[in-house]
Structures are given as structure tokens and as C-alpha cells.
Amino acid sequence: MTRSNFIQTKKTATLSKVHKSSSIKDEVKETIAEETPIALIYNGISHVVMMGSPSDLEDFATGFSVTEGIVDDLSDIYSIEINYKRNGIELNIKISSECFIRLKEVRRNLIGRTGCGLCGAESLSQAMRIPKVNISNSHFHSKNILEALKNFSKDQYLQKDTGATHASAIFAAEGNLKIIREDVGRHVALDKLIGASLKQKKYEDDFVITSSRASYEMVQKIAYLNLKLLVAISAPTGLAIRIADNLGITLIGFAREARYTIYSHNERIIE
């Protein structure tokens, strides 16, 4: 493999020749998920490099910019330009002068790994920022949550092909899929979902399902959408539960097609 084609910057998956233990001498092809360095550059200044799947990049730039507090609103993002380089992807994001001045004051440098959340924050207050949320009386029917869980895996096409990706999705109250995004990184998948959803109309009884565990920063991120239910396929952390409780978010973990565990605000769930 030559250096010039070492990194695939546009493909989300590639075919690779492999050998199975059942028949080591026979060569077969498998679909392999790609991960690519993605640099987010604000007004010409490089801010962070994250590892992710090279798809839905505008959604990622938007969602990351909002959930990291770099911008306050979509109107603060003037343009997003995607540049494919030999060794990765650059997202050149032009933001308002006010937001850029603030960014320079709190700027941090980090290299994000697959699945990395807020590693590299300069202070505890920066890492533990709590977004403002609206009070809501929304409720969710258990049968609709279970219906959404049945549908969740159906549209994870990259996961079906590779077995190596995470997904985050927004469902309507009735359990119907509205938006789904996939990525090799669980936080990147959620940022992509948030970026996509910010451009569409949301309702307070929409909810999010994630294929991963529920960490505190994932609870933080859905709070930016003012949604009140996060369903995780795996377990939550203790901090995620406490933050969800403080923000009035119902947090569900160990969600399967027939059961789940409620960790906060169970009063929102209707049998």
C-alpha cells in the first residue's frame, strides 16, 4: 500500500482481502469501516482534530460547533467548506466575529481519538458546562419506545456492512424514525445527528436513541436540542444519571426490544 492512498478521505467503507480461521488458505473480501482525521478550522485557525467517518460532514461541523459552545445559534455559522486532503479532511467553518473572539479566549488544543468526548478541556468548568433547558411536561409511551428500538437497527446500513460503527437517531413520539446518523465514533455520530436536527423542526416529545453507553457529555449534547428522553443500548454512567436528573431528562439504559431500565425521571414514561 503506497503512502498516497493510505487514507481514504471520501469513502465510509472499503473492501479488504481477509482470511477466515475456518479456512485460512481461502481469501475473501469484507467491508471495512473507514475512519479519517477530521480537522475543524474556525476562521482560518485550526481548533481540533477528531477521528470519524467521512460522511455527513456539514452536520458534524454544525453539531460540534453548537454542542461545544463555539456558537450560540445556527445563524452564527456563516459557511462550511469541506476540503479533502491526502491525509484527512479539513472543515473550514466561518463563524461570527463575536463567537470567534470568545473561542480564542477559551481555545484548547487536543487530538480526538475514536469515541473521544471532551478530553483536553482546559478547566473543570469548561468540561462540566450545563446548557440551559426549557421546562417540559412531555411524556413518552413505553410501547412507542420499544417500537423505536425494533426499528433502530434497520437503517444502520454502515453497521450492517462493517459491524464497526455507532448510530444515533431521533424518533417521533409514535416511534417512527426521523433522522439517523452513523459514525465510527459515538460522540461524532451524536454531533452529526444534532447538526442535522437543528435544521429541521423538532417537537418536545421526540426522543434520541444511541447505540452506545450513555456518558455525561451525551446527556449534555441532547440538552442542546431541548429533548427530554435519551435511550441508550448500553449502560449509563453515574454522572450521566445525575446530570440527566438535574436537567429534567429521562435517561434509559440497557434498552432492548422488549425491556429497558429507567435511571431518571421515570414519571415521564407511560405504560
Whether 10 and 54 have beta carbons less than 8 Å apart is answered as yes
Q: In this structure, what C-alpha cell is assigned to residue 179?
A: 433522522
Provide the CA 267 distance to its chain's centre, in angstroms.
Answer: 27
How many Å apart are CA 56 and CA 76, to the nearest integer? Answer: 20
Question: Is residue 116 among the annotated active site residues?
Answer: yes
Say which amino acid occupies 89. Answer: I
**CA distances for 203 relative to 102, 138, 182, 208, angstroms:** 31, 10, 22, 12
For 93, the enclosing helix (H) or strand (E) is strand 88-95
Helix 57-67 vs helix 186-197: crossing angle, to nearest 10:
90
Residue 215: partners with Cβ closer than 8 Å, 6 or more residues away:
117, 236, 237, 239, 240
Check 116, 188, 189, 209 and give the catalytic one: 116
Whether 117 and 215 have beta carbons less than 8 Å apart is answered as yes
Catalytic (active-site) positions:
116
